[in-house]
Amino acid sequence: MRGCLQATAGFVAALFVLTAVTALIGYNLIVVATDRETVKGLFTGLDEVVRQTAPALIIEAARQEALARGITDLPIDEGQLQTAVATVIPPGWMDAQAEAAVDGLYDYLETGDPADAEVTLDTRPLLDSLRGAAGQQMVTAVIANLPPCTSAVPNFTTVGNVDIPDCLPPGTDVQQISSVVHTAVVNAIDQNPELVANAGVLRLPLFGNEASSSLNSERQAQWARLQRNFAFARTWGWTLWLLPLACLLLIALLVARSLSTWGHWWGWPLVIAAVTVLFFAIVTPALLMFVARTAVPPPTDPLALPLRQLGLNLITTVTDRWLVRIYFQAGILLALGVGLILMAFGVTAVRERGY
């Protein structure tokens, strides 16, 4: 009978290790993923990414246009473009919009109210910058880096309601053309009905505003499922700990007949679970970075380099915040387990000495 109880307790102890490892990993993932402040912190530094990417996009477009005209050597003032982009984007504006987007998303995920299912972006600081001297400097930098024309009359590319020349005729007054284009940009901003109606504050519905009601309903159903899963994980994620606790109680009922047996039967499973989780936590960052770098190798296109680095930074940030919780909780389990084992050996030693 005793052997049967010990065999059953051994099975339950193994089940405890499995469920405790799952609870430590899974519950902390849920906590990190459902915390809006943690998610906001992931997008810090978007300003820098845009400042790196936007000039590269302009340069690439100019070079492609030059190649189309048979020009292979196009001098481009990258410093001028970098300065113009840095000037036109208000400091911290991109980070603030990312935080606002996260707030809008989490407002809906936390409440499930369709009235909260929108993301609000405040474009007023950027629009004011585009209207002013910074916008003029940005337009001038773009115009100045256009390829020279091979014909007397340039072609024009329409971006929104603004006509931008594809090239610069010889002897062109860059300031004059940039002034015309900048005026057109300002007029396009001031005449945009959506911007005018909302005073520069854009409200983007999560469900979309497609004309097709069936497509809209399908998207709404997808968001509703995501919201339910989010609410369920956030509300009931802690129940992952119930099964490990139940395993410990069952072990105590099956085989704990003294302090020494109780210390061993609880202590060793706690230690094994803690060491397993700590080992997993140690190898996970390197494994995740290896998988990420292998799945997305370094791009040959320089435009994608900042975006790839941003993605790697996101993985690192999430992993670091998850690991802080893992190390703390696994450390508690390890300390409890070691304490119980030492207690068990101490009780046995006292008993053997006849104290």
pLDDT recorded at residue 239: 93
pLDDT recorded at residue 208: 62
pLDDT recorded at residue 212: 46
Model confidence, pTM:
0.74
In a domain, 221, yes or no: no
Helix (H) or strand (E) holding 159: strand 156-159
pLDDT recorded at residue 91: 85
Residues 343 and 198 in one domain: no
Domain count, the chain: 2
Residues 66 and 164 in one domain: yes
Residues 264 and 306 in one domain: yes
User: In terms of residues, how long is the chain?
Assistant: 355
Residues 10 and 60 in one domain: no
* 148 strand-pairing partners: 168
Helix (H) or strand (E) holding 15: helix 2-33
SS3 105: helix
Collect the ranges in the chain with pLDDT lower than 70. Answer: 1, 58, 61-63, 65-77, 150-163, 208-216, 291-293, 295-313, 354-355
Question: For residue 118, which phi and psi values (nearest 5 degrees)?
Answer: -155, 155
Residues 28 and 62 in one domain: no
CA dist 293 and 299 (Å) reads 11
Residues 21 and 52 in one domain: no
pLDDT recorded at residue 211: 45
Residues 241 and 315 in one domain: yes
- The domain in which residue 154 lies consists of 46-216
